[in-house]
Amino acid sequence: MKTTASKKLFEAALRVMPGGVNSPVRAFKAVGTLPHFIARAKGAKLYDADGNAFVDYVMSWGPLVLGHAPAPVVKAVARAAARGTSYGAPTALEVQLAEMIVEAVPSMERVRLVSSGTEAVMSAIRLARAYTGRDAILKFEGCYHGHADSLLVKAGSGAMTLGIPDSPGVPADLARHTFTAPYNDIGAVERLLEGHRGNFACVIVEPVAGNMGVVPPHPDFLNRLRDLTHHYRIVLIFDEVITGFRVAYGGAQARYGVTPDLTCLGKIIGGGLPVGVYGGRADLMKLIAPDGPVYQAGTLSGNPLAVTAGVETLKLLKKSGVYRQLEERGRQLGEGLSRAAREAGIAATLNRVGSMMTLFFTPGPVTDYASAKKSDTQAYAKFFRAMLSQGIYLAPSQFEAAFVSTAHTPADIAKTLKAARAAFNKLKIN
């Protein structure tokens, strides 16, 4: 596979950007090869600077549930750009996106648009602390909620991939307010909340974990979290930056029937442009400036281009049959990968919820950070490289999700499974 252009671009990038990238996991450090620089994308395909084509399962880490550059979204964004790219003033478009989100997501009575998932989560945490007057927050090991200081404690995603889940630069005095518990361990949560009665402002959880790889909630986990946070009068925050509009049109809270107090969204609601959202109970959101004293602001919040992409994306997702198709494609890929690993005698565990999944190179089960960490990351790296050489672009980390979109065809899935069978056989030989 020709990689001359990507190599040259990476050398240039390394001279001016840390690691040559603008987000760490893109540097391919965990998979022992150099990153491919992407020139364009359409549907389920990526095309790199050397002209190589790939079936893409990163999908920009989740936003592109409709595939790359869906025509209606591109057309609408182009039209919006011609009307001006940002006004720093309210627009009808923001109202439209906010109304669509309030209508879709059970917990969200009021919303505030921001420009990233990190911003959404840090604002929701500030709001929970202001509402309760307390400082402590509880997150789960292996969950990633963006790179705000308070949340870089036993964080997942790139922090877990690079082995820096507790980043330097976070003041100890701040980190001490962040407590962690193993995902799916409701007993540990109960002991922490009981042991620190009156200290906790909120519990924040990925209702389906996506940042230690995909880890579904145990059947009663989310319900019990809801009961406990009600009992101790603690704000329950669902970080649905990945799961929002991914696992159902109303997100994981609609799929599992558990309603948090606050929800954070990102990725899909921007249709590939920068949008984050936090929102929830009206009595909490009324504390947000300028209604209330909790300050949060953003130059490009509600930006007309990004909001246009979001509105057009949600309009297409509302069409009937979309989530049935995502479920079906996800099932075909997940079951096919499981079968191929089993037939090759490779110890692997496939965790999947709808169109998001992870193949862990461990016998499993994978139910939390500790069991995810048992995965053979070298085997994953070999699998990744064998798939990449066959034109399949997976997440460059064992601890991320693969995403199927409505643009992935049965032929893409068949090509992927054929490549996986060859990759597993290669693993067996080496």
The residues annotated with a catalytic role in the active site are 144, 239, 267
Closest contact distance (angstroms) between CB of 351 and ligand KE4 is 15
Give me the phi and psi of 386, to 5 degrees please: -65, -35
Which of 30, 93, 121, 225 binds ligand KE4 (CB under 6 A)? It is: 121
Question: How far apart are the C-alpha atoms of 312 and 389, rounded to whole Å?
Answer: 35
Question: How far apart are the C-alpha atoms of 319 and 377, rounded to whole Å?
Answer: 39
Is residue 158 within the footprint of ligand KE4 (CB under 6 A)? Answer: yes
Number of Cβ atoms within 10 Å of the Cβ of 382: 18
Is residue 113 within the footprint of ligand KE4 (CB under 6 A)? Answer: no
Choose the stretch contacting ligand KE4; rule: CB under 6 A; options: 116-124, 196-204, 221-229, 360-368: 116-124
Nearer to ligand KE4, 119 or 424 (CB): 119
Residue 178: partners with Cβ closer than 8 Å, 6 or more residues away: 136, 137, 138, 139, 150, 151, 153
Number of Cβ atoms within 10 Å of the Cβ of 31: 24
Closest contact distance (angstroms) between CB of 224 and ligand KE4 is 21
Is residue 278 within the footprint of ligand KE4 (CB under 6 A)? Answer: no
Q: Please choose, from the candidates 309, 263, 270, the residue with its C-alpha nearest in 3D space to the C-alpha of residue 62.
A: 270
Q: SS3 for 71?
A: helix
Nearer to ligand KE4, 217 or 336 (CB): 217
Nearer to ligand KE4, 46 or 340 (CB): 46
Nearer to ligand KE4, 271 or 336 (CB): 271
Is residue 221 within the footprint of ligand KE4 (CB under 6 A)? Answer: no
Which of 25, 181, 359, 420 binds ligand KE4 (CB under 6 A)? It is: 25
Is residue 146 within the footprint of ligand KE4 (CB under 6 A)? Answer: yes
**x/- contact string, 374-413, with ligand KE4 (CB under 6 A)?**
--------------------------x-------------
For the residues of 139-204, what is the DSSP string, one character each?
Answer: EETT----S-GGG-SS--HHHHHTT-SS-TTS-HHHHTTEEEE-TT-HHHHHHHHHHTTTTEEEEE
C-alpha 251 chain-centroid distance: 12
Which residues inside 236-275 make contact with ligand KE4, applying CB under 6 A? 239, 241-242, 266
Secondary structure element (H or E) that encloses residue 284, with its range: helix 282-285
C-beta nearest to ligand KE4: residue: 117
Question: How far apart are the C-alpha atoms of 144 and 3, rounded to whole Å?
Answer: 32
Place of tokens 């995403």: 403
The backbone region for 213, taken as left when phi is positive above 0, alpha when psi lies in -120 to 50, beta otherwise, is left
Closest contact distance (angstroms) between CB of 321 and ligand KE4 is 27
Is residue 123 within the footprint of ligand KE4 (CB under 6 A)? Answer: no
Nearer to ligand KE4, 23 or 86 (CB): 23
Closest contact distance (angstroms) between CB of 143 and ligand KE4 is 7
At what angle are helices 71-82 and 304-317 packed, to 10 degrees?
150
Which residues inside 51-90 make contact with ligand KE4, applying CB under 6 A? 61
Nearer to ligand KE4, 56 or 239 (CB): 239
Q: Please choose, from the candidates 183, 243, 211, the residue with its C-alpha nearest in 3D space to the C-alpha of residue 395.
A: 211
Q: Give the count of residues interacting with ligand KE4 (CB under 6 A).
A: 21
Residue numbers at the binding site for ligand KE4 (CB under 6 A): 23, 25, 61, 116-118, 121, 144-146, 157-158, 206, 210-211, 239, 241-242, 266, 276, 400
